[in-house]
Structures are given as C-alpha cells and as structure tokens.
Amino acid sequence: MAANVQNVIMLVGDSLTQRGWEPGGFALLLAERYVRKLDVINRGLAGYQTDWAIPVCEQIFAKQHEQHQVPKVNLLTIWYGANDAAPAPNTRHVPRDRYKANLCHLIQMVKLPTSAYYSPETRIILITPPPVNTKQWGKPESPRVFETTRSYAEAVKEVGEKENVPVADIWTQIFDGAGRSEEGCKRYLIDGLHLNSDGYNIVFNAIVDIVERVYPELDTTESQYGVKMQNVFVPWDQVDLQNPRPSLLVRRKSRM
Amino acid sequence: MAANVQNVIMLVGDSLTQRGWEPGGFALLLAERYVRKLDVINRGLAGYQTDWAIPVCEQIFAKQHEQHQVPKVNLLTIWYGANDAAPAPNTRHVPRDRYKANLCHLIQMVKLPTSAYYSPETRIILITPPPVNTKQWGKPESPRVFETTRSYAEAVKEVGEKENVPVADIWTQIFDGAGRSEEGCKRYLIDGLHLNSDGYNIVFNAIVDIVERVYPELDTTESQYGVKMQNVFVPWDQVDLQNPRPSLLVRRKSRM
C-alpha cells in the first residue's frame, strides 16, 4: 500500500551494487542526497553477471502498459563486469564480446522505442568494474586477472560510446588514485574486489558529476541552468498555517 | 518503470525519520539488513507534526483499489512528536490529546477494515520521540521543554496500548543509556533534539527487537520459529547452470 508519490533511482548490478547500503556505500549517499525527491531502489544481486541480468531486468523494469501505475525511473545505473570478467572455467564467466552485447541489450530495453520496456524519461549511467588487486584477493577458487578486468572496463566505455550513454569510469579513477599500481588499489578495496567507503565515494562523485554535466534536470543543487529538483512535499515553513490542508495536498514535480 | 518486485518498509515521521539516511541512520541500517528482501521508503518530512501527517499519509498510503498494483507495505514505522511537543505559541504545536487522536487516526487508516487505506498485511511500529537536551538545543526561537517531550513519549505508549500496536520506547532507552540525566542525553544527540549514530542505533535495535518478538514473519535471521525471510531473487550459487533462465524467473515470496 505504498502509493506512487516519488520517482526513483534504480541501481542494477552485482555485489558491488548490493553492498551499496553498507556504511559509506553509494546507494546510501544517493538516498541521502535525493531524500524527499527520488527513492533509491537497490537491485544489486551478488554473484550475478550480464547473462543472468537480462531475465532479471525483464522482471524489474516495468513494461509500457504497466508504467502508468509504477514509479518512473529517472536515473538507472548499470554496473556489471566484476563477475563477467572472472576467467573461464568460472561458471560465471561471460566472454567479452557477449558482455558488451548484453550491456547493449540492457540499454536498448530502456532506450529503444520498439522495446516493451521503453522508458524515455529514464537517464542511464554505465559504471565500469573497479580494478582488482589480485594480491589482496583471497579466493583462489574464484580467481581474477588484473588485465582481464581492465579490458572489461574498457568494454564498458566502448558500449557507452556506441550507445551514447555516459560512463562513470571508476576503473580509471581508482587506478589513478592508487598511483597507477595494482597493489595501491587496496586503498579503495576491502578484499581486492569489493569497494570500501573511499572506493564508493569515487563512484558517488562520478555519478554526481555526470548528473551535473549530462543530466542537469536531476541536479539537486543550483546548477548553471538555474534549476534544481524540488522536494515533493512542501517544506514545513511554507505550509499555509491558516489553511494547511490544501498546501499539504500539493505534490510538486520533483523534476522541474 | 520500476516494476513491483519487492514489498517495502515505509518510514513516516518528521526530521528524525528524514535524517535516517545520514551516516549511521536507522533507514540505512534497515536497508542494509533487508537488501534483496524489502525496499525501504523514507517518507520523513522535516518540521512536520501529526496534524500535517494526516493529509500526507492520505497520499502516501495507497487506497484499497490501488493496492494490487503497488508494493505492499510489510512494515510501517510511525514516528512523530518532536514537533508536536514544541510548546505553544510555536506554530507546529499540537496539543497532547489531539496528538494522541492523530496517532490513532493514522493507525486506524491502516488497521480498520472500513478504511479506504485498509492494509491487513502491514505491521505497524510506533516510535516515541527521543528526550530533548534543552541545554544543548541551540534554537531559542523554537524552544523545547524536557518534561513536555517526556509526556508526549508517554502519550505514544498510551496510544500503543489502546490500539494494540508495539511501541519502540526509545525515549526511555536513551534516557536510561544517559544515566537518567537530561544532560547525559547529549551522548545520543547532535544538537539536543536530533539523533547521532548511537541514538539511531538504539532506534534500529528497538525495531529489530520488536520484529523478533512480535512480527517474526519479518525476521531476517533464523528465529525460534525456524523461519526467515528469503531473498526475492535466487542466490547466485543456486542458479541452474545448465538452464539458467527458469531459475532466474522465480521470484520467491520474501516473507515465508
């Protein structure tokens, strides 16, 4: 019985997204920033890769005929690759070409007017997997290779170029922050693969930066365009004290 | 275009709820605990009191005829009083009797079978306002009185008794933790009124404790009843590798 009063930010991905609610995670930084404007829906599924993401997204994206009755997704982040890049024979391995094709498929589900899931008001941001620090990674049964993950991060940028979708290239930002050394990446990683709060801070800032530059209609601060998103419900000091009810029934469009 | 795949926890209240996404806040602790099971929807509105909550809740609770198409609210927290208890002539003051009547009204919107918002699957938890530390509170233009807020916290317990709704009595837990001294409460308060992460931790633990004792069907851990909530989408190591798609299309009921 949660009525549809706020649009949402939807986060799809693997464990890096699922853990976004942990202390310092990017989901909670977004939730704090967009409180009273957009709800944050975390659809991160640990261990998943892009082959498996497609049937999942067929269920978590609403079809066109359902869209009038569910929250609009104003911002969608797509963040896979950490498992796709696990080399064969890992059961979760997805070859690089198919990984790219799968990412294109997910984007086209939303952006293609002929798609059952077409949603023209949804802004998309692709996120690259972070670098792995194989010296720090303690699961020899599920190995990762530094250069392979780098190549999957490059693949995301190729998809972004092809599909005209902005990319939060956190692989490069983290590697640069680590002095361009694999071992230096431990500054941003808990276990060689998953991010700590410094790593998530890079992700959050990369998203905010893209919003400001590419999607200013989703900016929460006064931007160069002179607009910012409003709170859906009226601020308490603007409630009409003589006749509160009408002012409390106004639901402002959070996106101007 | 966010399809309806997870039920939700809805948090209604004032700034104490709105700030629940801040570091250490109870909203993010709940979101982390219930990831892949229930989404957390924060409907905290800073500065609001129970007179104003009623028209807001008429919009954020779905009516019966809409409920088949929106997420079910499995858990609803109702947390007002910090502004209601501001003494007159503060424009936000709500007299104690009307505060109690308003809380009863909000509960009956959900629990009364004749209500347009009737939602039998919604479990409700009332939360008391925390103690104020008037020595720490730095807004003389909006004064608070220690004994008045205490009396509003008592009012919540009276409402809980009358309506048979469990109460997270964080007023008492914080006051006890502070050695039963007003000034000692600063250990849990940022500014004499709003909670720090230690204060929010008490709120979170009080909710978890009520869930375990009163609403075990919402427990995420193995309880004495031997049940726990499941993730909606299948864990990655249970995906059928020979034929992944059918296993990925199963959406388990998160509540057993």
Render pLDDT for B82-91 as a digit per residue (tens, 0 to 9).
999 999 999 9
Q: What is the structure's pLDDT at B227?
A: 64
Please indicate, yes or no, if residue A252 is contained in any of the structural domains. no
Residue A163 belongs to a domain with what CATH number?
3.40.50.1110
Per residue in B107-125, pLDDT tens? 999 999 999 999 999 999 9
Chain A contacts of B52, Cβ < 8 Å? 236, 239, 244, 248
Report yes or no on B41 lying in a domain.
yes
Residues 6+ away with beta carbon under 8 Å from A175: A131, A185
Interaxial angle between packed helices B26-33 and B197-214, expressed in degrees from 0 to 180 and rounded to the nearest 10: 50
> Rounded to whole angstroms, how far apart are CA atoms B25 and B127?
15
Confidence of residue A191 (pLDDT cuts 50, 70, 90): very high
Q: What pLDDT is stored for residue B255 in this prediction? A: 52
> Which of A21, A28, A91 is opposite residue B241, by nearest beta carbon?
A91
In order of A12, A154, A155, B120, B158, the CA distances from A161 in angstroms are: 20, 11, 10, 50, 61
In a domain, A164, yes or no: yes
Cβ atoms A128, A158 nearer than 8 A: no
CB contact under 8 A, B70 and A8: no
Tokens of A135: 């010296």
- Dist. CA A17–CA A243, nearest whole Å: 44
Structural domain boundaries, residue A134? 7-224
Q: What is the pLDDT of residue A228?
A: 82
Answer whether B62 sits within 8 Å of A31, measured CB to CB: no
The verdict on a CB contact (< 8 Å) between B42 and A56 is no
* Residue B140: pLDDT over 90: no
Chain-centroid distance, C-alpha B39: 13
Residue B246 lies in a domain: no
Burial B118-134 (b: 16+ CB within 10 A, else e): bbeebbbbbbbbbbbbb
Length of chain B: 256
ipTM: 0.94
Which among A3, A48, A249 has CB closest to B70? A3
Each residue of A135-144: pLDDT tens digit? 999 888 889 9
Query: What was the pLDDT predicted at A1?
Result: 67
Q: Are B196 and B19 in contact (CB under 8 A)?
A: no
Comparing CB atoms, the residue among A27, A39, A73 nearest residue B1 is: A73
Beta strands in chain B (DSSP E): 7-13, 38-44, 73-79, 123-127, 167-168
Whether B229 is covered by a domain: the verdict is no
Per CB-CB distance under 8 Å, the chain B contacts of A245 are 55
Per residue in A150-178, pLDDT (tens digit) is 999 999 999 999 999 999 999 999 999 99
Specify the pLDDT at position B65: 86
pLDDT at residue B190 in the model? 96
Question: CA dihedral in degrees (B191, A200, B6, A86; nearest 10)?
Answer: -160
The candidate with the shortest Cα–Cα distance to B3, out of A56, A224, A48, is A56
**Domain-embedded: residue B100:** yes
What is the structure's pLDDT at B69?
84
A66 confidence band (pLDDT: 50, 70, 90): confident
Residue A254 covered by a domain: no
**What secondary structure does DSSP assign to A88-151, as a single string?**
TTSTT---HHHHHHHHHHHHHHHH-TTSTT--TT-EEEEEPPPPP-TTT---TTS---HHHHHH
CB burial string B62-101: b at 16+ within 10 A, e below: beeebbeebbbbbbbbbbbbbbbbbeeebebbbebeebbe
Sort out which chain B residues have CB atoms less than 8 A from A78's CB and list them: none
Query: Percent helix, strand, coil in chain B (nearest 5)?
Result: 45, 10, 45
Q: Residue B247 burial by CB count (10 A; 0-12/13-18/19+): exposed, middle or buried?
A: middle
Q: Which residues pair with A61 in a beta bridge?
A: B2
- State which H helix or E strand residue A10 sits in: strand A7-13
Q: Report the percent of chain B where pLDDT is more than 70.
A: 96
Among B16, B40, B195, B229, which Cα is nearest to A27's? B40
Chain B CB contacts of A74 under 8 Å are none
The pLDDT value given to residue A141: 86
- Looking at the predicted structure, is the pLDDT value of residue A200 above 90? yes
Residue B256 lies in a domain: no
User: Left, alpha or beta for A226 (phi > 0: left; psi -120 to 50: alpha)?
Assistant: left
Q: Using 50, 70 and 90 to split pLDDT, how confident is the model at A3?
A: confident
Output DSSP code: residue A47.
T
B183-188: average pLDDT:
97
Of residues A20, A81, A17, the one with CA closest to residue A49: A81
Does A27 contact B24 at a Cβ distance shorter than 8 Å?
A: no
Residue at A223: amino acid letter = S
Percent of chain A with pLDDT over 90: 85
The CA distance from A83 to the nearest CA of chain B, in Å, is: 11
Contact between A93 and B34 under an 8 Å Cβ cutoff? The reply is: no
Encoded amino acid at A145, one letter: V
Exposed / middle / buried, residue A161 (Cβ in 10 Å: 0-12, 13-18, 19+): exposed
**Taking residues B128-148, what's their average pLDDT?**
93
Q: Measured between beta carbons, which residues in chain B are less than 8 angstroms from residue A42?
A: 31, 35, 39
Write down the pLDDT at residue B256. Answer: 40
Reported as a pLDDT band with limits 50, 70 and 90, residue A255 is low
A26-33 and B26-33 helices, crossing angle to 10°: 140
How many Å apart are CA B172 and CA B169, to the nearest integer? Answer: 6
B108: β partners? none
Tokens at residue A156, please? Answer: 């995301």
**Which of A61, A122, A248 lies closest to B3 in CB terms?**
A61
Say yes or no for a CB contact (<8 Å) between B39 and A39: yes
Instruction: Count the domains in chain B.
Output: 1
User: Tokens standing for A171?
Assistant: 């692989």
pLDDT surpasses 70 at A134: yes
Which of B18, B36, B39 is the closest to A35 by Cβ? B18
User: In A, which residues are within 8 Å of B251 by CB distance?
Assistant: 59
CB A46 within 8 A of CB A16: no
Q: What pLDDT score does A256 carry?
A: 40
Say if residue B226's pLDDT is above 90: no
For A80-103, how does the pLDDT look when each residue is reduced to its tens digit (9 = 90+)?
A: 999 999 999 999 999 999 999 999
- 8 Å CB contact of B41 and A2: yes
pLDDT digits (tens, 9 = 90+) for B9-66: 999 999 999 999 999 999 999 999 999 999 999 999 999 999 999 999 999 999 998 8
